[in-house]
Chain A
Amino acid sequence: MDEVPMIQLLNPEGERVSNSEYESSLSAAEILGLYRDMAIIRRLCNEATSLQRQGQLALWAPVQGQEAAQIGAGHALLPNDFTFPSYREHGIAWKRGIPPLDWLRLFRGVTMGGWDPLQYRHSNPTIVIGNQALNAVGYAMGIQRDGADEAVMTFFGDGGSSQGDIHEACVFAGVFNAPVVFFIQNNHWAISEPTTRQSRIPLFHRASGYGFPGVRVDGNDVLAVYEVTKRALDNARSGNGPSLIEAFTYRMGAHTTSDDPTRYRLEAELETWRHRDPLERVKSYLVRTHGEPQSTFDEIAADADHMALDLREGLLSLPDPAPLSMFDHVYTEPHPLIEAGRRELIDLGFGGEQ
């Protein structure tokens, strides 16, 4: 399925390539900004992985390799758009302005969510695979009924695309012409299951079955992802209905810190994708075409290191929540089973001062 044509504006060597349907509208300064975003989330993600290995996070889902897909898509969003992520969308969270420490609080187990979804217009990470697409379509149908010119974007992976929830969401989105963009990051592995064992056709072809457009974009090309996503969101906002974007990318790390990718995939495949690195190509392009000096990139790396240290310190000083607070936000109103659970925990001695 590698041979299927996809939208690409910057090749792995960092050379601009022309495309009959899309062209890049970004200035060199904006492209450098996107590089900075990608470098920061890669660095913060590595710090989070280390923190998990040091016992400070229960789990972490690394984003490495998918930075361009997320930063390109996130950059195309407008402040009033609403996004529904899975648990790996750290790059989208960054673009939505959510403080990195808030991404980590869920993975440390000190919060049930991490941020106020309405404040950032970005819902909390959905751990149940694919469920967020239903939420997204529901929200998009609400926008239709309000008559607003906003768009919704939801994120899931190639593995999620095999879930029933995604199918239902696409059916409803198609039938109601909802203003939603389904953004698949095809990172090639659903934990240990390769994409080739999940679909007989390229994933973006599925869109035609629901009656809306689908497109495959080079998910490691931030310029192309931005343009493709921007057009899809514009279409949604202007009443032209849903679309599906398959960002063709690769998960360079583990699915989460709990699995060992060397047990199910070959080093040669990783090597192939190392040559398609989303950051390196932008750097090559900026250096060669715009004469960006090395010092610029060194400064970005230093900033990212600094942010990583801040993130570490912030995480280590997070207070543990009171055990009983876990019952606080399950339902808005009192509920007998929740109350029974709370009382049981108190009986077991976890009540503390309360």
Chain B
Amino acid sequence: MSEVLFPLPDVGEGLTEAEIVTWKVAVGDTVALNQPLCDIETAKATVELPSPYAGVIVALNGQPGDIIPVGDTLVTFDVAGAAPSASAPAEKKGDAPAREAVLVGYGVATDETVATRQHRRRGAVTPSTPAAPAPASSANGLAPRSTPPVRLYAKQHGIAIDSVRGTGPDGLITRQDVEAAISGVTAPRVSAPSGPSTTTRLSGYELAPWASGPAEERIPVRGVLRSMVDSMTKSAFTAPHAAVWLKVDATKTMELISSLKGRGAFATVRLSPLTVIAMAVCDGARHFPGINSSFDDAANEVVIRRSVNLGIAADTPRGLIVPNIKGADLLDLLSMARALNELVDVARSGTTTLAAMSNTTLTITNVGPMGVDAAMPILPPGTGGIVAVGQVAKTPWVVNDEIVVRHVVELCLSFDHRMIDGATASNFLAHVGRFLNDPAAALLAG
């Protein structure tokens, strides 16, 4: 066994890092010289990396979405019999000066240790800065776009050009924009605003508090956020969405949960309304398989799947991800609880694999814990239905012509109306409702 390392090369003249987009090989694969290994995205381009060796993949460093510094090991190969001395790429030199990314033009950025170069290139971004949210419109290291007369005009009127929102082509700040700022239409910041000093998160990015953050903050679209941008945009503009709603008396569901909690094997798992709802959704799919379907554009066919890979939308520190439970329709309540617990723990720890997020057939998004009644979700691409679950709240409810207090939850099913008709969607959701209304009976019947 002869192991060689493939450090991430600089594929674009002065780059410092790249994001892994997809792996095209797996550990244990035998690869040929120049066989595609992966796609990476740099600040300049998305490119395919061909294998520098013929051999066996020993290790892949990083998951899709991870940012790898240039020079760090990307792939470890076992090249038994090969002569690594001649073909080993240059090792990263530990004492080499830190690189500076070059994002424009040709040539490398200035190095201040060389006295003959005096100017720092404007477009150059030092590797240490992009991690933090960049202020205002200089997220890319460039000054906001405008023209010299407009800059002068703004300056003469005491307007900071980077506080003005550009409305021209490609965000160009025009004279009118500056005029609007002067007349207070866009209210450029004149004094520090007051507000809470707590930080919040948006799609995996920590936002500075209102009071101390910059006037405008820009977040690079990458990693989990980029996946969300891509999948939501794709889904919203390919699948015609329609939705049905249902309010359900889930009192018996809540009673079932409290009666099982801590008893026997259930003592080892976390039970919640979501556990029972997951069972209900799978049971609904068994009764109305049309809901567990997808649209195959290429073949112009509707694909019905008789196995549920139940996607669970999870709010994680890195943003929204939707891992799924494979073959969820085969699970009993205890197994479902275990599977959900594991899925959530893995998602929170940030170690969800690509495989765990692939081939979802039906999804649940649980917005109830955030304190809202209902949501109309967008389908993950390639799926036919997604059920949003609101909060379970004590509500006045009519039972036998009398108003009583019951635990009520609101469900919303969004569906791809290309192949799922309103009747199927309604029948499915009504079935889920009946399940939650009397879960013991449904589970025993299951």
Chain A interface residues toward B at CB < 8 A:
47, 50, 52-56, 58-59, 127, 254, 257-260, 262-263, 313, 316-317, 337, 340-341, 344, 348
Contact with A along B33-53 (1 / 0, CB 8 A): 010000000001111111110
- Residues in chain A near residue B423, CB distance under 8 A: none
User: Which residues of A are found within 8 Å of B12, using beta-carbon distances?
Assistant: 257-258
Bound together, the chains give a CA A259 to CA B12 distance in angstroms of: 8
Residues from chain B with a CB closer than 8 A to the CB of A54 are: 6, 9, 49-52, 89
Residue of B with least CB distance to A49: B50
Interface residues of B (CB under 8 A from A): 6-13, 34, 44-52, 86-87, 89-90, 106, 113-116
Name the one of B9, B44, B51, B116 contacting A55, with C-beta atoms under 8 angstroms. Answer: B9
Please measure, in the bound complex, the distance between the C-alpha atom of A105 and the C-alpha atom of B210, giving whole angstroms: 54
A313 to chain B: which residues have CB within 8 Å?
86-87
Contact flag A259-B44 (CB < 8 Å), given A313-B86, A316-B87: yes
Do A258 and B13 form a contact, CB below 8 Å, given A55-B90, A263-B45?
yes
Interface residue from A260, A341, A344 paired with B45 (Cβ < 8 Å): A260
Task: Say whether A259 contacts B45, CB under 8 Å.
Answer: yes
**In whole angstroms, what is the CA distance A318 to B46 when docked?**
29
Alpha-carbon distance between A58 and B90 when the two chains are bound, in angstroms = 12
Contact partner, A53, options B49, B86, B90, Cβ 8 Å:
B49
Q: Is the CB of B9 within 8 A of A53?
A: yes
A254 to B46, CA, bound (A): 12
Are B44 and A260 neighbours in the complex by a CB distance under 8 Å? yes
Task: Name the A residues within 8 Å of B89 (CB-CB).
Answer: 54-56
| Distance from B76 Cβ to chain A, minimum over Cβ atoms (Å) | 15
In the bound complex, CA of A59 to CA of B115 (Å): 27
Whether B11 contacts A317 by the Cβ 8 Å rule is no
- In the complex, residue of chain A having the shortest beta-carbon distance to the beta carbon of B102: A258
B45 touches A258 (CB 8 A): yes
Residue of B nearest to A337 (CB): B116
Of chain B, the residue at the smallest CB distance from A257 is B11
Interface residues of B: mostly helix, strand, loop or mixed?
loop
In the complex, what residue of chain B is closest to A260 when comparing beta carbons?
B45
Contact B113 A52, beta carbon cutoff 8 Å = no
Q: List 18 A-B contacts (CB under 8 A).
A: A50-B34, A50-B50, A52-B11, A53-B48, A54-B89, A55-B9, A55-B10, A55-B89, A254-B45, A257-B12, A258-B13, A258-B106, A259-B45, A260-B45, A313-B87, A317-B86, A344-B115, A348-B113
CB neighbours of B34 from chain A (8 A): 47, 50
A52 / chain B contacts, CB cutoff of 8 Å: 9, 11
Asked if B50 and A58 sit within 8 Å, CB to CB, the answer is no
Q: Write out the residue numbers on chain B whose beta carbons fall within 8 Å of the beta carbon of A59.
A: 13
- Which residues of chain A are near B50, meaning CB under 8 Å? 50, 53-54
CB distance from B281 to the nearest CB of A (A): 39
Closest to A320 in B: B90
Alpha-carbon distance A316/B52, docked complex (angstroms): 11
- A54-B51, A56-B89, A258-B12 given; name 4 further pairs at CB < 8 Å: A53-B9, A56-B9, A260-B46, A348-B113
A55 and B50 CA atoms in complex are apart in Å by 10
Max count, chain B CB within 10 A of own CB: residue among A55, A59, A127, A317? A55
Sorted nearest first, the 10 A-B pairs with minimum C-beta distance are: A55-B9, A260-B45, A54-B52, A50-B50, A258-B12, A55-B89, A50-B34, A53-B49, A258-B13, A316-B87
A52: nearest chain-B partner, CB-CB = B11
Q: In the complex, which residues of chain A have a beta carbon less than 8 angstroms from the beta carbon of B52?
A: 54-56
Inter-chain contacts of B114 with A (CB < 8 A): 344
Cα distance, A140 to B89, chains bound together (Å): 43
Chain B, Cβ-Cβ closest to A309: B33
Which residues of chain B have C-beta atoms less than 8 A from A58's C-beta? 10, 13
CB nearest neighbor in A for B113: A348
Q: How far is the CB of B12 from chain A (nearest CB, A)?
A: 4
CA distance A294 to B106 in the complex (A): 43
- Specify the chain A residue showing the minimal Cβ separation from B107: A127
Complex contacts, B11 vs chain A, CB 8 Å: 52-53, 55, 257-258
Question: Which residue on A lies nearest to B41, using beta carbons?
Answer: A260
Shortest CB-to-CB span from B50 to chain A, Å, is 4
Report the nearest A residue to B50, measured CB to CB: A50
Chain A residue at smallest Cβ distance from B34: A50
Q: What is the CB-to-nearest-CB distance from A267 to chain B, in angstroms, rounded to a whole number?
A: 14
CA–CA, A20 to B50, complex, Å? 47
Nearest CB in chain A: distance from B123 CB, A? 14
Separation of A340 and B46 alpha carbons in the complex (Å): 41
Query: Which A residue's beta carbon lies closest to that of B105?
Result: A258
Q: Are B7 and A55 in contact (CB under 8 A)?
A: yes
A341 touches B9 (CB 8 A): no
CB distance from B47 to the nearest CB of A (A): 6
In the complex, what distance in Å separates the CA atom of A262 from the CA atom of B48?
13
A344: chain B residues at CB < 8 Å are 114-116
Q: Compute how far the CA of A168 lies from the CA of B106 in the bound complex, rounded to whole angstroms.
A: 25
Min CB gap B38→A, angstroms: 10
Query: Are B7 and A53 closer than 8 Å at their CB atoms?
Result: no
Complex: A344 Cα to B7 Cα, angstroms: 30
Q: Which residues from chain B contact A262 at a C-beta distance below 8 Å?
A: 46
How far, in angstroms, from A269 to B170 measured CA to CA in the complex?
A: 25
Taken together as a complex, chains A and B put the C-alpha atoms of A305 and B45 apart, in Å, by 28
Please give, as numbers and ranges, the residues of chain B lying within 8 Å of A53 by CB-CB distance.
Answer: 9, 11, 47-50
